[in-house]
């Protein structure tokens, strides 16, 4: 089963709604106990996801692709990244 880490800029409503639909999903958030703390640099979050086997869910379309390319260039990997639409105005 895939595990997901939501970065600190993704609204908690994503976690709440996904778990409402599928309670068995494993969805954690940056900043929660046992996870990377808020303000953790993106390269460190990618390493955490690699080490713990989490797919990163982010809305960071600006710098995350650059960090991912650098991560892969270092012969590292990550289970996956989901980049959300940065326009979240329709989520409440």
Query: In the structure encoding, which two tokens stand for residue 42, read together?
Result: 């993106």
Domain boundaries of the chain, sorted by first residue: 3-83
pLDDT in tens, the chain (92 residues): 899 999 998 999 999 999 999 999 999 999 999 999 999 999 999 999 999 999 999 998 888 889 999 999 999 999 999 988 766 555 44
Indicate the helix (H) or strand (E) that contains 58. strand 54-58
- Phi and psi dihedrals of 62, rounded to 5? -85, -60
Q: Residue 82 phi/psi, 5° resolution? A: -110, 120
| pLDDT value at residue 88 | 55
Shortest CA distance to 48 belongs to which of 30, 66, 24?
30
pLDDT score for 68: 94
């Amino acid at each position: 089963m895939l595990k997901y880490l939501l970065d600190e800029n993704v609204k908690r409503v994503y976690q709440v709604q996904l778990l409402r639909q599928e309670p068995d999903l494993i969805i954690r958030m940056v900043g929660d106990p046992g996870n990377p703390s808020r303000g953790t640099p993106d390269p460190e979050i990618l390493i955490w996801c690699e080490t713990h086997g989490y797919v990163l869910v982010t809305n960071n379309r600006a710098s995350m692709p650059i960090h991912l390319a650098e991560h892969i260039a270092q012969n590292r990997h990550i289970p996956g990244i989901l980049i959300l639409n940065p326009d979240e105005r329709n989520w409440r």
